[in-house]
Amino acid sequence: MLTIDVEIDAGRKWKTSNPATYEGMTLGIGILQKLCEKYGVKPVYLISPAVMVDRTSVRFLNALNWDRCELGTHLHGEYIAPMAKFSGEDFSGCDPEEMQCEYAEEIEFKKLENLTDKFRNLFGHTPKSFRAGRFGARGWTLACLEKLGYTHDTSVTPFRKWHDVVDFSKPESLSPYYPSKENICTRGDARILEVPVSITPDITWLRPTPRRFSDFEQCKKVIDWYEEHVSPTVLCSMFHNVELVPDKSPYCKTEEDCAGMLETIEKTFQLLTDRNYRFKTLSEVTVDG
């Protein structure tokens, strides 16, 4: 699975562009979708509420062939009621720092409900797949997603801790599993299938972002490690659409950075093709892969 956090253009430390721009949408996703279709990859575009206010971005996403990708949601709670920190629709210069799991339970549910309703109104169907902004999910998040009709979550980043708020450092499973509503890292009775991002114990990600995360050799290292240690071997890669356009994220600043990232992505696709992997969207994944 290739999962993309779909964001408004951003700069240092993910502060949104000022004035607000959306080049990572039409340019970034346009480039990526063409490459994915070459290899039969079906990316999952997990859309932030900051993108849903932009009419051009919405038209672009509606024009995609949904047989060749999946649309889902991605919550940065600052951008959506209740208690929206940035009311929009102009999000110029906003700084999204909040962790979803720190909201009161009723606030988290209402933000997810409003995000889901907005998605349904814009795209005409209920989303099935979700990732929490800044990976800030917890057991309660699963209960919310169940009520709202979701089937899959991909918020867990194994072996990582985030800001002393979220702790995924002791994952029970690296393959898809049904988690506990008490502890998202352990198996339980939730009806949401958790598909963890592929990360090794030494914190190497299947994330082809140059400098900050992984080059091709590091991506290959993750794939090799999962094949040796994880059965069934289910791989979940992630990055942001804005990383594919120069200077629209904290990571890829130049044309050379973006070209290098695309080269890593294509080499990874080719490696997986050579090894006979099946490319799926999140909502197509089962507990067996």
Count of domains in the chain? Answer: 1
Nearest to 140 by CA among 193, 97, 103, 96: 103
Q: What values do phi and psi take at 71, rounded to 5?
A: -105, 135
Residue 212: predicted pLDDT: 86
Tokens of 112: 């997810």
Tens-place pLDDT, residues 266-283: 999 999 999 999 999 999
Q: What values do phi and psi take at 163, rounded to 5?
A: 55, 30
Is residue 179 in some structural domain?
yes
123 has pLDDT over 90? yes
Nearest to 29 by CA among 57, 53, 55: 57
> Domain span at residue 203?
2-284
pTM (2 d.p.): 0.98
Residue 160: predicted pLDDT: 97
> How many angstroms separate the CA atoms of 227 and 197, rounded?
15
Is residue 56 in some structural domain?
yes
Is residue 289 in some structural domain?
no
> How many angstroms separate the CA atoms of 133 and 85, rounded?
15
Is residue 26 in some structural domain?
yes
Is residue 248 in some structural domain?
yes
Is residue 216 in some structural domain?
yes
**Domain with 153 in it: what CATH number?**
3.20.20.510
Tens-place pLDDT, residues 132-187: 999 999 999 999 999 999 999 999 999 999 999 999 999 999 999 999 999 999 99
Residue 211: predicted pLDDT: 80
Is residue 218 in some structural domain?
yes
Is residue 90 in some structural domain?
yes
Residue 135: predicted pLDDT: 97
Tens-place pLDDT, residues 193-203: 999 999 999 99
